[in-house]
A and B are shown apart, each in its own frame.
Chain A
Amino acid sequence: MNADECMETIKLTSRGGDSFELPYAAARLAHVVRDANDENDDGDIDSPEDVEILKVNSPCLEKVVEFLKHYHEEALTEIKTPLEDNTFEGNVKQEWYQNFLKGIDQPMLFDLVTAANFMAIQPLLDLTCLKVSCQLMGKSAEEIRQILNIPKLTPEEEETARRDHRWIFDD
Chain B
Amino acid sequence: MTSKTALHLLALPEEHLPQIISYLSLNDVCQLRLVSAFLRDPRHVHHLWMDEEGENSHNITLGRGIMTSRRLQRMLSIFTNITTLRLYGLQLLDRSAVTLRRDAADRDSRHYLEVLQNATCAQNLECLELLGVFECDPFTSDWGTGSTPSYSIHADVRFPKLKRLAIDGRLYHGELPLIRSLLRSSHQITHLRLGGPIPRLCDFDIEIAIMQFHNNTLEELILDGCCGKIISLEIKSTRLRTLDLSGCKSLSEFQPGSHCPNLEELDLSNCSNLSLDFLKSKFCPRLKVLKLRMNTTIEEIDSADKGGNDSEQQPYLPHLEHIDIRDCPLLRHVSIRSPVLTTAEVRGCNHMQSLTVSSPVLSTLCVAWLYSLENISLDCPVLTSLDLTGCYKLSNKGMKFKCPALQSSGIRNGTNDASDD
Interface residues of A (CB under 8 A from B): 79, 81-86, 90, 106-107, 110, 113-114, 117, 125-126, 129-130, 132-134, 136-141, 144-150, 153, 157-158, 161-162, 164-169, 171
Determine if B70 is an interface residue (Cβ-Cβ < 8 Å): yes
Segment of B19-27, B154-162, B179-187, B194-202 in the binding face: B19-27
Query: By the criterion CB–CB under 8 Å, are B8 and A165 in contact?
Result: no
Query: By the criterion CB–CB under 8 Å, are A140 and B2 in contact?
Result: no
Determine if B6 is an interface residue (Cβ-Cβ < 8 Å): yes
Query: By the criterion CB–CB under 8 Å, are B61 and A169 in contact?
Result: yes
- Residue from A106, A117, A130, A153 within 8 A of B8 (CB atoms): A106
Chain B CB within 10 Å — which of A82, A90, A106, A169 has the most? Answer: A82
The complex places the Cα of A166 from the Cα of B74 at a distance, in Å, of: 8
Determine if B15 is an interface residue (Cβ-Cβ < 8 Å): yes
Query: By the criterion CB–CB under 8 Å, are A168 and B23 in contact?
Result: no
Determine if B56 is an interface residue (Cβ-Cβ < 8 Å): yes
The complex places the Cα of A139 from the Cα of B24 at a distance, in Å, of: 11
B29 (CB) vs chain A CBs: closest residue: A136
- Residue from B6, B22, B32 within 8 A of A149 (CB atoms): B6
Determine if B308 is an interface residue (Cβ-Cβ < 8 Å): no
The complex places the Cα of A79 from the Cα of B55 at a distance, in Å, of: 17
Query: By the criterion CB–CB under 8 Å, are B1 and A117 in contact?
Result: no
Chain B CB within 10 Å — which of A107, A141, A162 has the most? Answer: A141
Query: By the criterion CB–CB under 8 Å, are A133 and B23 in contact?
Result: yes
- Residue from A117, A148, A166 within 8 A of B9 (CB atoms): A148
Chain A CB within 10 Å — which of B1, B25, B35 has the most? Answer: B35
B11 (CB) vs chain A CBs: closest residue: A110
- B142-172 residues with Cβ-Cβ distance < 8 A to A are none
Determine if B86 is an interface residue (Cβ-Cβ < 8 Å): yes
Chain A residues closer than 8 Å to B54, beta-carbon distance: 82-85
Chain A residues closer than 8 Å to B73, beta-carbon distance: 167
Can you report 20 A-B residue pairs in the complex whose CB atoms are below 8 A from each other?
A81-B86, A84-B54, A85-B56, A90-B56, A110-B9, A113-B12, A113-B16, A114-B13, A117-B15, A125-B16, A129-B20, A129-B22, A130-B23, A136-B28, A138-B28, A148-B36, A149-B3, A150-B35, A157-B37, A167-B74
A171-B95 contact, Cβ under 8 Å, with A81-B86, A141-B34: yes
- Residue from B12, B35, B49, B62 within 8 A of A114 (CB atoms): B12
- B72-125 residues with Cβ-Cβ distance < 8 A to A are 73-75, 78, 86, 88, 95
A136-B25 contact, Cβ under 8 Å, with A117-B16, A147-B1, A149-B3: no
A161-B34 contact, Cβ under 8 Å, with A133-B20, A136-B24: yes
Determine if B351 is an interface residue (Cβ-Cβ < 8 Å): no
Chain B residues closer than 8 Å to A114, beta-carbon distance: 12-13, 16
A129-B23 contact, Cβ under 8 Å, with A164-B40, A167-B71: yes
Measured CB to CB, the closest approach of chain B to A169, in angstroms, equals: 7
Determine if B237 is an interface residue (Cβ-Cβ < 8 Å): no
Chain B residues closer than 8 Å to A125, beta-carbon distance: 16, 19
Measured CB to CB, the closest approach of chain B to A145, in angstroms, equals: 5
A90 (CB) vs chain B CBs: closest residue: B56
- B175-228 residues with Cβ-Cβ distance < 8 A to A are none
Determine if B405 is an interface residue (Cβ-Cβ < 8 Å): no
The complex places the Cα of A144 from the Cα of B5 at a distance, in Å, of: 13
A169 (CB) vs chain B CBs: closest residue: B61
Interface residues of B (CB under 8 A from A): 1-6, 8-13, 15-16, 19-25, 28, 30-37, 40, 47, 49-51, 54-56, 58, 60-62, 68, 70-71, 73-75, 78, 86, 88, 95
Query: By the criterion CB–CB under 8 Å, are B47 and A81 in contact?
Result: yes
Query: By the criterion CB–CB under 8 Å, are A136 and B32 in contact?
Result: yes
The complex places the Cα of A121 from the Cα of B24 at a distance, in Å, of: 21
- Residue from A86, A113, A145, A149 within 8 A of B58 (CB atoms): A86
A161-B40 contact, Cβ under 8 Å, with A82-B25, A144-B32, A149-B5: yes
The complex places the Cα of A79 from the Cα of B51 at a distance, in Å, of: 16
- Residue from A82, A146, A150 within 8 A of B36 (CB atoms): A150
A133-B8 contact, Cβ under 8 Å, with A144-B32, A148-B35: no
Query: By the criterion CB–CB under 8 Å, are A171 and B31 in contact?
Result: no
A165-B30 contact, Cβ under 8 Å, with A133-B21, A146-B1, A171-B68: yes
Chain A residues closer than 8 Å to B56, beta-carbon distance: 84-86, 90, 138
Query: By the criterion CB–CB under 8 Å, are B58 and A138 in contact?
Result: yes
The complex places the Cα of A83 from the Cα of B51 at a distance, in Å, of: 9
Other CB < 8 Å A-B pairs besides A83-B25, A136-B28, A165-B61, 4 of them? A81-B47, A133-B20, A145-B36, A171-B68
Measured CB to CB, the closest approach of chain B to A111, in angstroms, equals: 9
Chain A residues closer than 8 Å to B68, beta-carbon distance: 171
The complex places the Cα of A170 from the Cα of B61 at a distance, in Å, of: 10
Chain A residues closer than 8 Å to B78, beta-carbon distance: 164-165, 167
Query: By the criterion CB–CB under 8 Å, are B9 and A132 in contact?
Result: yes
B34 (CB) vs chain A CBs: closest residue: A141
Query: By the criterion CB–CB under 8 Å, are B33 and A161 in contact?
Result: yes
Query: By the criterion CB–CB under 8 Å, are A141 and B32 in contact?
Result: yes
The complex places the Cα of A90 from the Cα of B54 at a distance, in Å, of: 12
The complex places the Cα of A141 from the Cα of B115 at a distance, in Å, of: 28
The complex places the Cα of A162 from the Cα of B88 at a distance, in Å, of: 25
Chain B residues closer than 8 Å to A110, beta-carbon distance: 8-9, 11-12
